Amino acid sequence: MTSYGRAVRHELGAPTRELRRWIPGAYEGYKQLHDAVMSAGELDAKTKELIALAVSVSRQCDGCIAAHAQGAVRNGATPGEAAEAIGVNFMMDGGPATVYGARAFAAVTEYHEREHGTSEPTPDG
């Protein structure tokens, strides 16, 4: 099975660390923005991660999908909740979302199984 979560994050680790060495201020500024936006407010962190996951599908960003799939699961999202968020993206983004949506769902399922030791029941039962 292809990994759309951990393997993608691992692949991006070294080049990201190297770029961060060259532009640490840009990464620190981005981290501050990320932390401010993703902290719970009127929307909880899980909802924000699901929104970010759906946008990641729209932007066709494998690294973003991996990060926000993990973030969504860490904040309590289930594969079913992720599937519904991805479905909204299908409606808004059309055909390309079906490809990256499948990748995003695979990443969420991967992290969910790793964190909870089991997958969520399938929609068929």
**Model confidence over 80-115: pLDDT tens digits?**
999 999 999 999 888 888 888 988 999 999 999 999
By CB neighbour count within 10 A (0-12 exposed, 13-18 middle, 19+ buried), where does 108 fall? buried
What does the pLDDT look like over 33-63, one tens digit per residue? 999 999 999 999 999 999 999 999 999 899 9
Task: Give the confidence band of 14 by pLDDT, cuts at 50, 70, 90.
Answer: confident
What is the per-residue pLDDT for 125? Answer: 60
DSSP structure class, residue 84: H
Q: The whole model's pTM is what?
A: 0.79
Q: Which CATH superfamily is 6-116 part of? A: AhpD-like (1.20.1290.10)
